[in-house]
Amino acid sequence: MRTTRQDLLAEEVPLAIHANGEPLAVMMVSPCDLEDFACGFALTELGIARHDLLSVDVQSLLEGIRLDLATRHPLPRHALDPQRWLPGRSGCGICGHRHLEEVVRRPESVGQGPAIASSALEVALAALGKQQPVNAFTGALHAAAWARPDGTLVLVREDVGRHNALDKLIGAMLLGGIDAASGFALVTSRASYEMVAKAATAGMPLLAAISAPTALAVDLAQGCGLTLVGFLRRDRHVVYSHAGRLTAD
């Protein structure tokens, strides 16, 4: 039997990022929590710390959204290379890079961070679904969450792009003064190289993903001291690097 019902769809809009008046990138995003995204993107993609980001201006235009960043210091020369930044898809982080050394970034080692019980991962996962309001209606968004060592969720951000969701989470933590070394992150996606790079750049000691990691992601996590967890389920998970940070229940 055929029925007709109204459906709710997730928004996906083009976002143009400018810094000090210079165009940097265009990507597809969910149009929410954009100040958080700006702070996170500035750190993880441009290397701009929170105290060096003077202002964020968000403008809604006919064609999409423009995000203007004002920084305390000039951007690095490579960031302003007009041939580097190309229009990107949802959270496409390496679009526009022309050289291998620009793509494979090696963040500094993360701190020790707290000991985290394995059960805390499952506690965070069980709570996450209830804190994804847009995805609950549309089924189309990724989420990135920050949890205390006991698994209590503190922040959750959603976006059509998994990289964007993590940047939004990192930005919200920066704006909220949350120490990235005080808990762990959980993402509803695979753990790609860039997700690990962003988490490590922010200083997160542990990243848990509900899907698989890539080989390069595991290599990067091993090298920078980050605990990488994949295939997170309510009754099991796989630890790919630095398992010593997780404790038995």
Based on the domain organization, do 125 and 79 belong to the same domain?
no
Indicate the number of domains in the chain: 2
| Residue 57 lies inside a defined structural domain of this protein | yes
Which DSSP helix (H) or strand (E) runs through 42?
helix 34-46
Give the burial string for 108-146 (b: 16+ CB within 10 Å, else e): eebeebbebebebbbbbbebbeeebebbeebeebbbbbb
Residue pair 68/59 in contact (Cβ under 8 Å)? The answer is yes
| Residue 111 lies inside a defined structural domain of this protein | no
Based on the domain organization, do 126 and 158 belong to the same domain?
yes
| Residue 120 lies inside a defined structural domain of this protein | yes
Based on the domain organization, do 75 and 188 belong to the same domain?
no
Domain's final residue, options 81, 103, 125? 103
The Cβ of residue 60 has, within 10 Å, a number of other Cβ atoms equal to 10
Based on the domain organization, do 58 and 177 belong to the same domain?
no
Strand partners, 69: 19, 56
| Residue 137 lies inside a defined structural domain of this protein | yes
The span from the CA of 40 to the CA of 130, in Å, is 24
Based on the domain organization, do 232 and 189 belong to the same domain?
yes
The pLDDT value recorded for residue 31 is 96
pLDDT digits 0-9 by tens, 84-105:
554 555 555 545 444 444 556 7
| Mutual angle of helices 34-46 and 162-176, in 10-degree steps | 100
**Phi, psi for 157 (deg, rounded to 5):** -130, 145
The pLDDT value recorded for residue 98 is 44
Based on the domain organization, do 241 and 120 belong to the same domain?
yes
Based on the domain organization, do 133 and 157 belong to the same domain?
yes
| Residue 149 lies inside a defined structural domain of this protein | yes
Based on the domain organization, do 136 and 198 belong to the same domain?
yes
The pLDDT value recorded for residue 99 is 46
Domain's final residue, options 74, 103, 132? 103
Residue 83, domain CATH: 3.10.20.10
pLDDT digits 0-9 by tens, 204-213:
999 999 999 9
Domain boundaries, position 232: 116-247
Please report the sign of the dihedral spanned by the C-alpha atoms of residue 43, residue 46, residue 47, residue 51: negative
Q: Which of 32, 39, 92, 95 is catalytic?
A: 92
Residue 178, domain CATH: 3.40.140.10
| Residue 3 lies inside a defined structural domain of this protein | no
The span from the CA of 161 to the CA of 124, in Å, is 21
Active site residue 224: no
The pLDDT value recorded for residue 100 is 47
Give the pTM.
0.91
Q: pLDDT under 70 in the chain at which residues?
A: 77-104
Based on the domain organization, do 124 and 36 belong to the same domain?
no
The pLDDT value recorded for residue 102 is 54
Based on the domain organization, do 239 and 148 belong to the same domain?
yes
